[in-house]
Structure 1
Amino acid sequence: MPEWLGIAIAFIYGTVVGSFLNVCIWRMPREESIIRPGSHCPACNTLLRGWDLIPLLSFLLYRRKCRYCGAPISWRYFLVELTTGVYFGLVWYRFGGLIDFLTYALFGAALIAVFFIDLEHYIIPDELSLFGIIIGIVHDGIGLAIGTRHPYWVPLPWARTRLPMPQSIIGAVACGGIFVGIAIFSYYLFKKEGMGGGDIKLAAAIGAVLGLWSALVSFFIAVALGSIIGLVLILAGRKTRRDYVPFGPMMVIGALVAIFFGEQIWTSYLSYIGLANIGGFLYP
């Protein structure tokens, strides 16, 4: 199949998934089922039909209004569908293989939902983080079975042996543990919550899918981006130092960058500090 055709098909599938993500973004914070009832206008509750739900096109054809009651439709619906479509196309271009494509496409879709939910409601649904952890473990399991991935051999000093551990498990436990440590440290030092439970679980999901080292790259990007945005908001008078700024969207951006460039960034960093020779150990 020509590469351009694969990218085009991935884009189309991505817009369809993006349409479903809009349902998740609206319903999950409200603790509503994402399955039933079917898609409907939140203003007039009219059940939408197939031609009302064509990704991207329906939004433009009906001029961002419900065709039944005329209620305006947020640009967020179009943006989510377009972003997910473009992301799926980029994932196919970058990875190509079906297993890697499904892994990073589905995880990225969950991240996109997290971005908009946390940005608007300041929560990260546990279901999305658990979905990411499952994706990471399944991807690891398939890779171990077909020989495309290898475990870390973790030394057990008391037993004088080493235990094989999947990257996903190590990544989830280590990254979740790092964020738990930050939360505890922040609470006792500043007497306030430094990391929410949703951030901790999302960190575990990122570690499960990306592995420990690429996940660390994503966290560095998230912290840097969060610091810059927070400073800009404070200087602009939009926020004060005591105001809460959701960290989930920063984690999502960092993870999406790390999906494509995490390994390259980490190995470049190791080379810069003179530890390039251990790159093979860090990426089994």
Structure 2
Amino acid sequence: MEITPTILLLYLVTLLCLGSALACFTWRYPRGKVAEWEQEARQLLGIKDASDSRLIQPSDFVKGRSFCPSCQNTLAIRDLIPLVSFCLNKGHCRFCHAPISYRYPLIEIGYALALLPLIWVVQSPLEWLLLMMLVSSLCVVSIVDIEHFFIPDECNVLILGCGLLLALLNGNDLTAHILGMMIGYSVLYLIRFVYLLVRKAEMLGLGDVKLLAVTGAWLGIYELANIVLIASISAIFYVFVKGISKQNPLPFGPFIALASMTLYYWRQFIG
């Protein structure tokens, strides 16, 4: 299919709209999970009074309406147009003029950039759908890990399923992808286990271990070393620039996600 300027513009608008939905999802989902975990902990401990809880169950992602967290006013469609509403309102709520977090336009732009190259590399609508869900899951993983320091298992399952289906769709031998998953999990789990044994502290979370396993299943065993190398170099650069501490720990999931997407697009465009 010839990519005309009109098609490219429509594609970008679609991606920005999907990015806006993703920004909403990554705000509501982790807070909902944390509130759910706190409720389960209270039930386990026999605590019935939740009046001291600082966690508020967010609105349902599908049915809940978006609202301003400052004034609680429900937002209309005119307030939710990706990038446009933020610019027209100069980064403030239309009702109470409280500042709106820059996370929303940044996520919309970042998501659009992450999926933009797919328009030139996919061969079929099914392949685009699988890659869209996979890359979207990597974006969710990155955002949630940066903001809340955990990686949703649902995203790992979705990445694994889409990765293996893409391998089948492209006629690849699944052996390399299964081995990528098994060895990817084993390598990071072993590193985590040894560090925990020696230093009595966790170097990596199990979410990171699972993420390397599913990205290994997507890209195959031959890309595992490259994923780890690129992710590690990126993390070292981040530490060099920003530093880490107990108050500012290092989420490794975004670096694995970035390395995986970089390698995929590199192979598609460079070879």
Identify if the C-alpha distance between structure 1 residues 213 and 39 changes in structure 2 by more than 3 Å, giving closer, same or farther.
farther
Q: Residue 57 of structure 1: CA displacement?
A: 1.0
Q: Distance in 2 between matches of 1:22 and 1:130?
A: 20
Which letter maps to 2:113? Answer: V
Deviation >6 Å, runs of 4+ = none
| Counterpart position of 1:30 | 31
| Counterpart position of 2:171 | 149
| Counterpart position of 2:104 | 77
Q: Distance in 2 between matches of 1:260 and 1:214?
A: 13
Identify if the C-alpha distance between structure 1 residues 97 and 65 changes in structure 2 by more than 3 Å, giving closer, same or farther.
same
Matches within 5 A, 1:104-119: 104-119=131-146
Q: Residue 254 of structure 1: CA displacement?
A: 0.9
Matches within 5 A, 1:70-219: 70-141=97-168, 143=169, 148-152=170-174, 165=175, 167-219=176-228
TM score, norm. by length of structure 2:
0.79
Work out whether residues 83 and 108 of structure 2, in 8 Å CA contact, stay in contact via their aligned partners in 1. Answer: yes
Q: Residue 264 of structure 1: CA displacement?
A: 8.4
Which letter maps to 1:67? Answer: R
Q: Residue 25 of structure 1: CA displacement?
A: 1.6
Q: Residue 42 of structure 1: CA displacement?
A: 2.2
TM score, norm. by length of structure 1:
0.76
Q: Residue 6 of structure 1: CA displacement?
A: 4.1
After superposition, what is the alpha-carbon deviation per residue over 1:227-261, rounded to whole angstroms, capped at 9, x for unaligned?
Answer: 22213334xxxx35996311112112212211211
Q: How many residues align?
A: 244
- Aligned-residue CA RMSD (Å): 2.6
Identify if the C-alpha distance between structure 1 residues 246 and 11 changes in structure 2 by more than 3 Å, giving closer, same or farther.
same
Which letter maps to 1:25? Answer: T
Which letter maps to 1:11? Answer: L
Q: Does 1:232 align with 2:267?
A: no
Work out whether residues 16 and 82 of structure 2, in 8 Å CA contact, stay in contact via their aligned partners in 1. Answer: yes
Matches within 5 A, 1:58-73: 58-73=85-100
Instruction: Flag structure 1 segments of 5+ consecutive residues without an equivalent.
Output: 153-164, 268-284
Q: Distance in 2 between matches of 1:225 and 1:112?
A: 16
| Counterpart position of 1:276 | none
Q: Distance in 2 between matches of 1:85 and 1:119?
A: 19
Instruction: Flag structure 2 segments of 5+ consecutive residues without an equivalent.
Output: 33-57
Q: Does 1:244 align with 2:249?
A: yes
Q: Residue 26 of structure 1: CA displacement?
A: 0.8
Q: Distance in 2 between matches of 1:28 and 1:21?
A: 10
Work out whether residues 129 and 205 of structure 1, in 8 Å CA contact, stay in contact via their aligned partners in 2. Answer: yes
Identify if the C-alpha distance between structure 1 residues 117 and 217 changes in structure 2 by more than 3 Å, giving closer, same or farther.
same
Secondary structure of the residue that 2:93 maps to in structure 1? coil
Q: Does 1:55 align with 2:104?
A: no
